[in-house]
Structure 1
Amino acid sequence: TAASQATATGDERSNGTGSQQQQQQANGSSANSMSNNSRSAVNGTNGVEIDDSLYSRQLYVLGHEAMRSMATSNVLICGLRGLGIEIAKNVILGGVKSVSLMDNSLPDWSDLTSQFYIDESDIGGPKSRAQICLPKLAELNNYVRVSALEGELTEDAIKQFRVVVLTDWPMAEQLRINQVCRKHGARFITASAAGLFGGIFCDFGDAFSVTDKNGEPCKNFIVDWIEQSADGTVTCAQDSRHDLEDGDYVTFTGVQGMTPLNGCAPRKVQVVNPSRFKIGDTSGFPPYEKGGYCKEVKMPEQISFKSLQDALASPEFVITDFAKFDRPAQIHALFQALSEFESRHSGRRPEPGNAAEAAELARIAEEIAKRQGLEPAPDPKLAATFAQVSSGQLAPVHAVIGGTASQEVMKACSGRFNPIRQFLYFDALECLPEGAAPSVAPADGKRYTGQTAVFGDEFQSRLGSARVFLVGAGALGCELLKNFALMGIGTGSRGGQVIVTDMDRIEKSNLNRQFLFRPWDIGRAKSTTVAKAAIRMNPNFKVESQENRVGPETEAIYTDDFFENLTVVVNALDNVEARTYVDRRCVYYRKPLMESGTTGTKANTQVVLPFLTESYSSSQDPPEKTTPICTLKNFPYQIEHTIQWARDYLEGVFCQQSQTLHQFLHDPTFMERTLALPGNQGIETLEAIKTNLLDKRPKDFADCITWARMQFEEIFNNQIRQLLFNFRLTR
C-alpha cells in the first residue's frame, strides 16, 4: 500500500502572527493522490507563475527557465535530523513545487544541537520528527506544498517524485531506493553526517542534461583573424583573452569574407592559447577579410551517472580540500563501515570513548577497503577518531553538508550547473582540540548532547561563556545566529552573550534567503526579529539586538570597553567599506574576526586570528577587469561598454560637477586646496566652475532644454562624425 500523507501549506495560519499553525490532514489521501495543480492550490494560479518580488535574487542566478523547472518538481526528503531539516529548509525556500517529508522516528536529546525546529518540549512526546517540523517548514514559502509521508517508502510512493533525498539512511535501504529511482527516472541524492565528517552521493540517471554548466554570462569578443584551414584558428582582436575552455561552443556575426560563419551552428572550441582557438575545418569557406564578433553559446551536455551499487565499488570523488587528497577514499570506507556497524547494533553508532567499538568499526572499514580495492585503506588513527565523533550532531557540519546537498537538489530540478559526480566527502578534524574528552549522553539527556559527544563538557562551557559581536542580520546573519543558538554560544552564566546589530528593515525579497523572517515580519527591524527567532530555537540563548551602524559615528557606543570584553567578532556584511572598518577595529583590539561573503552560488570565508594570520585588509582582491577609455569613447563593441560609457557620463556631468560646485560654495578652504593641485588641475577645475556658474548657467527651464539639446547634438552627432572622419572606412 502507498504511504499516507498529511499536508500543511504556508497559508494555513490560525492568526496573523503565524505563531500558531494548524496542520491540515488529508482525508483518506494516499501518496499517489498529490494532484498536479498543488502549486495552484497554494497560490491560487493555474500553471507555473514565478513571484519575481520574492525570488528576485535567485532569478539573477538561475533565470526564469530554471525557476519554472523547479516550480514543477516534487521532492521527497527522508530523515529529519539536523542534516535533513537543513536540506528541507533550503529546498522549500528555493521554490520547488512540493516537498514531502518522511521521518517517523521520535526526536531525542541529540537533535537539539542541530535540529532547529525541535525543542525540549518535543522530547518524549508522541509526535514524530516529520509531524513536529511540518507546520514550521510550511511557513517558509507559501508557494510550496509541504506534506508528511507516513508508512513505508514503497515503489508507488517513490515514483511520483522528481528528486529523492535520503539523509543518514541505512546502506541497504539506500541501494534499494536507488534502484527504484533509476527505474522511474527520479534523481537520487543521499547525504550523511557523522560528527565532524560528512558525505554526499548523487545519481541523476544514465542521461542527465545540463543546460548551463557554470552559470557565467556568455563570453563575446572581436575577431582579428580566421585562418582558412583544416583547424580554422581564430585570433582575438588586440591579443585580448577569450577565456574559453576546450569543449566550449561559439558562433559568429558580422564576419566579412568568410560569411558562412555568420549565424553558423555552434562550433566546438579547442584552445590554442589565451588569445587563439580552433573551431574546425574552414578550408571550404571564402577567405576571411575583416571584422566580426564571436560569441560563446551554452550547449546542453549529457551526463551519465553510475548507480550507487556500481559507484561504491569504483567511486569518483569531488575533492573539497587538496591538502587532504587521500582522505576521500578513507572516509568512503568509513561511512560504509558506519552503516554496517549500525545494522549490527540496532541502529546506534559507536559510543564516544569506547575503544572496543572503535576497533570494531575500524576492522569493518578495513575489510570494505580491501574488498573494493580502495587506496589508501583507512588510517587507524583516522578510523578511531571517526568512531569517537560519529554520534555527534553538529549544526555547522550539517549546514555545510545540508547546504551543498540542497544545491544538488536544485541542480537536479533545473539542469543548471554541473552536479557532483558522484561522491563528495568533507571533514573538519582541525576543529577537534587535542586531548578532547567527549562525554557520553546521560540517560535523562542534555540539550547539548549532540555536541558534547564530540568536544566534551569543558568545551561546551567555554562556548557558553563566549561574547560574540555579529555585525549584520541578513542572509548570512540568519544562518550564523541559528548556528550560534544551536551550539549554545553565549548561554552560560559567566557573562556569555551574542550582540547582533543591523540597521535594515525586512523586505519581501529577503524572505527567499533569510529564513528567520516571515511575511508578517516585513517592515520590522532585522536584528530584533532574528534575535527573537533564535531565542525560540534555544530559550537559554542570550542575545541583544541593536540597530546601529558600525562605523566612526558609533564609536561612542562600541567603545574600548565593548571591544575589550568580546571573544570574537563575526562579519555578515555586504560591502567592503564596513568590512574594512570592522577589520581595523579588530586589529587594534587584537580580537579574532570571522569574515564571509556570498555571490550567487559562490562564497568565501576568512578566519583572522591575532598574531597568526593576515588581517582582512592586508590583502585585496585582484582588480576587476576594466575597459580602456579609448574603447569606451571610440570603439565600444560589447553591451557592457555602452553601459559603462553611460555611467561615466552620468557621473561626470551630474555628480562630480555638482559636488565640486557644492564644495566651492560651502567650503572655505576649497580655493586654497584647489590652487595647490599639481599641474593644470586647479585651473581646469576653476574654469569648469566659472562655466557652470556664470558662462552657461541656465536661467530658466527653456535654457535647460537648450542645454540638453546641445548635449545630445555633441554626443550623438558631432562626436560620431569626428570618429568617422578620423578613422575612415577602408575598402
Structure 2
Amino acid sequence: MSSTSNKKEEIDESLYSRQLYVLGKEAMLKMQNSNVLIIGLKGLGVEIAKNVALAGVKSLSLYDPEKCTLQDLSSQFFLHQNDLGERRDVATSSKLAELNSYVPVKIECNISDFENLAKYQVIVVTDLLSLDEKVALDDFCHLHNINFISTETKGLFGSVFIDFGKEFTVFDVNGEEPQVGMISDIEKDGVVTTLDGSRHNLEDGDYVKFSEVEGLNHFNYDQTSNTIYKIQVLGPFAFKLVDVKLDGTYVSGGIFTQVKMPTKLSFKPLKEALKEPEFVYSDFSKFATPSQLHLGFQALDIFKTNHINGELPRPMNDEDAKKVLEIVSKLNPDEEINEKLIKELSYQARGDIPSVNAFIGGLVAQEVLKACSGKFTPIKQFMYFDSLESLPEQKEKYPRTEETTKPLNTRYDNQIAVFGVDFQRAIANLKVFLVGAGAIGCEMLKNWALIGLGSGPNGSIFITDNDSIEKSNLNRQFLFRPKDVGKNKSEVASHAVSVMNPDLKGKIQTSIEKVGADTENIFDDDFWQNLDFVTNALDNVEARSYVDRRCVFFKKPLLESGTLGTKGNTQVIIPNLTESYSSSRDPPEKSIPLCTLRSFPNKIDHTIAWAKSLFQGYFTEAPENVNMYLSEPDFVENTLRQAGDVKGILESIVESLGNRPYNFEDCIKWARLEFEKKFNHDIQQLLYNFPKDAKTSTGAPFWSGAKRAPTPLIFDINNPDHFHFIVAGANLRSFNYGLNGDSGLPNVEFYKSVIDKLDIPAFTPKKNVKIQASDDDPVENNTDDRDELDVLIQQLPDPKSLSGFKLTPVEFEKDDDTNHHIEFITAASNDRALNYNIETADRQKTKFIAGRIIPAIATTTALVAGLVVLELYKIVDQRTDIESYKNGFVNLALPFFGFSEPIKSPKAKYNNTEYDKIWDRFDIKGDVTLKQLLDYFEEKHGLTISMLSYGVSLLYASFFPPKKLKDRMNLPITQVVKLVTKKEVPSHTRTMLLEICCDDKKGEDVEVPYITVHL
C-alpha cells in the first residue's frame, strides 16, 4: 500500500491489529478517508496530533506559525533545543510523520480563507485562536458540515467543546459486542425466554433479530434474515417484542442477536452553545464546577484579548486574578461565583502540564476518530476538567507565591508556574521504577521526561521490560519506530526520552529482566528500599500481583493502571492508607464445559477454543512427547506414569514416528486424512452414539436446547476453509519434521493432484466409544486399560534406532501472518462450525479470540497515563489523607468518567492492639535464634507462636517432638531455614519474611501480621 495513496481500501492488520479490535474495519476505512486539521501545536495540540496520526487518518494537516520557545519544551515532546525560533508546525511535522507512514503530514498555510478549509472532515482548534475567531470558524464548519472541536488546557484545568453539525449519525453508541443468546420459549404475545437461565443483557429499546426458530409462522427462519424487532425488557431472562403478535406455535430452537441501530444527534454551533451550554461531567463530585469554568475560560480569553501584549494572567498574581473575577461577574451577574476556583484558574493560566495535556489530548483525539467514523458517542457539547487535588498541600515545604512560580528561563517554567520551583526540584530528585515499557510505559516515560522526573542530582529512573518491539506495537507505543522492530523495548524507550529531554541522559537505567521471584538477586532488597515509588505498566495480572507484593513488603507507593479498548482504569496504592492491588480480583473467566468443547459446541467461541487445542496437540504437544521419548531413557517406565492422558500421549508418539513424512506431499496426505477424521468420521461416530432422533431418559429430544445435531463434512477443495485446513496443516507438519513447505501462494492444482492419489478410508462405527453427554455425566476412563497400553508400547520404535532424530515443536505466534498458525486455527474452527451450522468467523476475529488479544488504542493509553501522573504529584506531596487520592475508571466510547476514593486498608486487633492487615508487620533486627524469637513474642506482645513458616517450609510447630525442637531452638533463623530446606538463604537476601500462627493472652487463635527479619 502506498503511503501517499488517496484511496485506501486496505488495512494493514499487522500494524493496526489491536486497534481494529476496538474500532472495527468499517470505522477504520472511514477514518482512512478523512482529512484532519489541527490548529495550534503546543503541548495539547501535539498530543492530539500524535494520537490521530497513530490511529490512521487519510491526512493530517497542521497550522501553527508561531515560533518555538524554550517554555514550549515543558510539554511539546517533539520540539528540541535546536528548534527554538522555528515555526512550531514546521518543526513538529517531520517528527509526526515518522509515527505512521500511512498518514501524510502537511502544513496548512492559510486558515483565514475559510473556503480553503472545506477539504477537511474535522478541524481541531487549541489555544492559538481567540474565542471570537473560534466562533467565526465554527459558524463556517457548522454550515458546511465540517466537524469542529475546540479545546485548551490551563495548568490543571482543561476544556473541550464539540460541534458535529445539525445532524450527526452514530452507528455504534458503545462499541460493545452485540448480545447473542439461545431461546427456550417464545409465546404468542411476543414474550421471549432465554435458555437455561442465561441472562440476555439487553436494555429497553434495543433491537434484536432471530435465526433457527422452529415454529411460529411470523418468523423468517433464514439465517440471513434482516427482520428486526424492538424489545422491552421484562427481567434478566425474558424480554418482549414491542407491538408484535405472533401466529402459529413455537416448537424449539432459536437464537437472538442484538442489532446495533444508528442514532442521530444534533449539535448547536459554538455561538449558541456558549449561551445555553450542555455539559458532560468529568467528575460527578464536582457537579457545580462546569458552569463556573464555562465562565472562567471565557474570562481568560477576554483578559488576554484586552491585555496590551495579549498575555494571560501572571502566576499567583492577585491583581490579575481580581480582574478575571470581575470579568466573570459581568459575563453572568446572576451566577454565584466560586472565587477560590476562578482565582486558581487565573493563577494557573500560564501553566502547561503534560499530564493534563495527555488526559485532554487522548480524549479529544478519540472525539476526532468519532467524527471521522461515526463510531461511539461524542461529547455533547462542553466538558470541563480540573485536578486541583494535585496541587501540593505542604505549603511551607512547597510554597506557591509569585516569587516561587515566576519564570526562570528553563524548560520547566510552565510547570513551575503551577507547582512552584521547590516542588519542581522534588520531582527532579525522585527515584522511580517503571515496570513495563509498552503502551502505557511509553506514555508514562513521555510525561516523566517532560516534567523532568528523575533529572535532578539525586534522581533516577529504572525501567525494565523483557519484551522486544513488534510491528503491531508501533500503532500505540509511540516511542518506537519501524527501525526499532526487534530491539528491546526498555532500551529504545530510554534512548527516546533522553533525546526528548537531555536532562535525563545518564539518569535512566534499563533492564530486560522480568520482575519476579527468579530475579530477586537483581531486584534485591537494596534496589527496592532505594525507591520513592513504583509504577506498573504491565499487561498481565500475575506480574502486577508480584510487583504489588514487593511494594507492600517494602512499603512503597504503587501507581497501577490498565486499558481495554476505550476503557481504562487507574489505582493508587499508598502504604498504611489504602488496600493493595491484590486486595481485590476480577472474577475468574468463565470456562467452556469439556463436553461442550468436545462434542456439543453451539457458538464460534467453542469451535475456536477446540481448534486452538487441536493446533497445540498436533504441532506442539505431539513433537514434545516424541522428543521426551527419544531423549529420556526412563520415559515409559517413570515419566509417562506422571502424565494425565497416558493413552493419548502414547498414541501421539506412535503416530508421529510410525507415520513419519519424508516430503511435503506426505504432509498434504496427512492433513487430508486428518480432515476426514475430525470433520467426517468423528461426527459420524457422535451421530452413531446419539442419532438425530435420539431421546433423553425423560423422553425429550436429545438434540435440543444448546445441543445442535451436527452434519459430517464432505471434503471440497474449492471450499476455502477445507482447503486452508490442508494447506496450513501440511505446512505446520513439514515444520515439525524439518521439511520444506510451501514457498509461496498455495497452488490448488498441486494439492488436488496429491489428494486425488490418496485412498480415503470409509467410516466404520466403533461400538465401545464413550462420549460424555453432559458435565454431570462422567465418561468411562479407558486410559488405564493395561492391554491397550501394552499394545501401544510395543508399537514404539527403539529410541536407539532414531539416534539424532528430533522434531521441532511449534511455538504459537498470533502476529506472524506467514507462519500458518492463525490460518490453521481459523480453518479448523470454521470447518467445525460448518459441522454444527454455526456462523463462521474471519481470520481477524479468530486471531482475537485464539490469541487472547487485549484490544488497545493510543487515545485511551495516553489519557490513562495522564491520570496516573496526576496522582504521582500527590505521592510527591506525601499526602496522608485518603480523600485526596483518586482511583479512576473511564470509557471513551460513551463517554464516561468515574472517580472514587481508594478503599482503606483493613484493620484487625490482637490483645487490644490494632494493626493494618496489609501494611503492618513485626520487624526483627538481626539473625536471632528460634528461641529468642519465640521468647520475644511471648514477652513483648503477649503472643504464643504455635507455628512459624518460611515460604512453604514449616520451621517450628508446637506439636513437633521435643528432640526435633531441641536441635533447632538455639540455631539462628537462617540456619533453621538451611536445616529444613537443605538450602542456604540466598546471599542477596537482606530481609526474610516469616509467617506465624499465634495464640493471644487468652489462649485464643488470633490473626497477626507477618514477621520481617532484617539480616
TM-score class, shorter: 0.7 to 0.9
Matching residue of 1:600: 565
In the alignment, is the contact (CA less than 8 A) between 2:625 and 2:653 conserved in 1?
A: no
The residue that corresponds to 2:354 in the other structure is 395
Give the letter for the 1:136 counterpart.
K
Conserved 8 A contact 1:517-1:529: yes
- The one-letter code sitting in structure 2 at the alignment partner of 1:196 is L
Q: Is the contact made by 1:587 and 1:610 (CA closer than 8 Å) also made in structure 2?
A: yes
Number of the residue aligned with 1:297: 259
Q: Structure 1 residues 433 and 244 mapped into 2: Cα distance closer, same or farther (>3 Å)?
A: same
The 1-side partners of 2:407 and 2:539 are apart by 45
1:219 aligns with 2:219: no
Aligned equivalent of 1:522: 485
Conserved in 2, the CA contact under 8 Å of 1:158 and 1:180? no
Q: RMSD of aligned C-alpha atoms?
A: 3.2
- The amino acid across from 2:658 in the alignment is F
- Cα pair distance change 1:392/1:284, threshold 3 Å: same
Give the TM-score normalised by structure 1. 0.85
Amino acid at match of 2:365: S
Does residue 685 of structure 2 align to residue 722 of structure 1?
no
CA deviation map 1:324-357 (0-9, x unaligned): 2222222222222222222222432211121122
Q: How does 1:695-714 map onto structure 2 within 5 Å?
A: 698=655, 700-702=657-659
Structure 2 partner of 1:91: 52
2:572 aligned with 1:615: no
- Report whether the alignment pairs 1:258 with 2:216: yes
TM-superposed CA distance for 1:524, in Å, is: 2.1
The aligned amino acid for 1:134 is S
Aligned-pair CA distance for 1:79: 0.9
Distance 2:648 2:87 in 1: 77
1:360 corresponds to which residue?
323
Residue identity in the other structure for 2:602 = Y
Relative to 1, partners in 2 of residues 1:654 and 1:142: Cα closer, same or farther, differing over 3 Å? closer
What TM-score comes out, normalization by structure 2 length? 0.62
Shift of 1:289: 2.9
Q: 1:613 to 1:166 in 2, by over 3 A?
A: same
- Judged with a 3 Å threshold, the aligned counterparts in structure 2 of structure 1 residues 75 and 690 are, in CA distance, closer, same or farther, namely closer
- Residue pair 1:333, 1:378 contacting (<8 A) in 2 also: no
Tell me how far 1:511 sits from its aligned partner. Answer: 1.5
Select which of 479, 485, 493 maps to 2:443: 479
Query: Pairwise mapping of residues 320-399 of structure 1 onto structure 2 (< 5 A)?
Result: 320-345=282-307, 346-370=309-333, 377-399=336-358
Residues 658-683 of structure 1 show CA distances to partners (whole Å, capped at 9, x for unaligned) of 99999999899x99999xxxxxxx9x
Per the TM alignment, residue 195 of structure 1 is displaced from its structure 2 partner at its CA by: 0.6
- Seen in structure 2, the aligned counterparts of structure 1 residues 291 and 691 have a Cα distance that, compared at 3 Å, is closer
In structure 2, the residue matched to 1:426 is 385
Among 374, 396, 408, the alignment partner of 1:415 is 374
| Structure 1 contact 110–393 (Cα < 8 Å) conserved | no
Q: Pick from 88, 101, 106: which aligns with 1:129?
A: 88
Partner of residue 15, structure 2: 54
CA contact (8 A) 2:406 2:416 kept: no
Match of 1:146 in 2: 105
**Aligned residue pairs: how many?**
674
In structure 1, what is the Cα distance between the partners aligned to 2:513 and 2:378?
41
Structure 1 residue 692 displacement after superposition: 4.6
Q: 2 CA distance for matches of 1:257 and 1:622?
A: 39
CA contact (8 A) 2:218 2:246 kept: no
Please give the secondary structure, in 2, of the residue aligned with 1:118.
coil
**Alignment match, 2:271:** 309
What CA distance in whole angstroms lies between the structure 1 residues aligned with 2:349 and 2:656? 79
1:641 corresponds to: 606
Per the TM alignment, residue 726 of structure 1 is displaced from its structure 2 partner at its CA by 4.5
Aligned counterparts of 2:77 and 2:652: Cα–Cα separation in 1:
68
* Residues 1:484 and 1:671: Cα distance change in structure 2 (over 3 Å): farther
For residue 623 of structure 1, report the CA deviation from its aligned partner.
2.9
Q: Which residue of 2 aligns with 1:119?
A: 80
The match for 2:421 among 457, 466, 481 is 457
The whole-number CA distance in structure 1 between the counterparts of 2:418 and 2:154 is 10
Q: CA deviation at 1:370?
A: 4.0
Instruction: Tell me which residue corresponds to 1:33.
Output: none
CA offsets 1:285-333 (integer angstroms, 9 cap, x no match)? 3343322111111222211112112222222222222222222222222
Q: How does 1:44-83 map to 2 (within 5 A)?
A: 47-83=8-44
Displacement, 1:97? 1.1
* Counterpart contact for 2:8–2:29, Cα < 8 Å: no
Q: Structure 1 residue 198 and structure 2 residue 158: aligned?
A: yes
Q: Which of the pair has more CA radius of gyration?
A: 2
Q: 1:677: which partner in 2?
A: none
Counterpart residue type for residue 88 of structure 1: A
Q: Which stretch of structure 1 is more off in the superposition, 632-641 or 464-473?
A: 632-641
Secondary structure of 2:213's counterpart equals coil
Query: Is 1:562 equivalent to 2:527 in the alignment?
Result: yes
Cα pair 2:43 2:354 within 8 Å, conserved: yes
TM-superposed deviation, 1:488: 0.4
CA distance in 1, matches of 2:199, 2:648: 43
Distance, in Å, in 2 between the alignment partners of 1:303 and 1:614 is: 42
Q: What amino acid is aligned across from residue 251 of structure 2 in structure 1?
A: E
Q: Map 1:544-693; keep pairs closer than 5 Å.
A: 544-629=509-594, 631-632=596-597, 635-647=600-612, 688-689=645-646, 692-693=649-650
Q: 1:671 to 1:332 in 2, by over 3 A?
A: farther
Residue 136 of structure 2 aligns to which amino acid in structure 1? R
Between 1:654-663 and 1:113-122, the stretch displaced more is: 654-663
CA distance in 2, matches of 1:101, 1:398: 18
CA change 1:686–1:586 in 2 (3 A) is: closer
Aligned to 1:34: none
Alignment pair present for 1:535 and 2:498: yes
- In structure 2, stretches of 5+ residues that fail to align are 662-669, 705-1015
SS for the counterpart of 1:190 is: strand
CA deviation string 1:614-660 (max 9, x = no partner): 11111101333444455545653221233334456777899899999
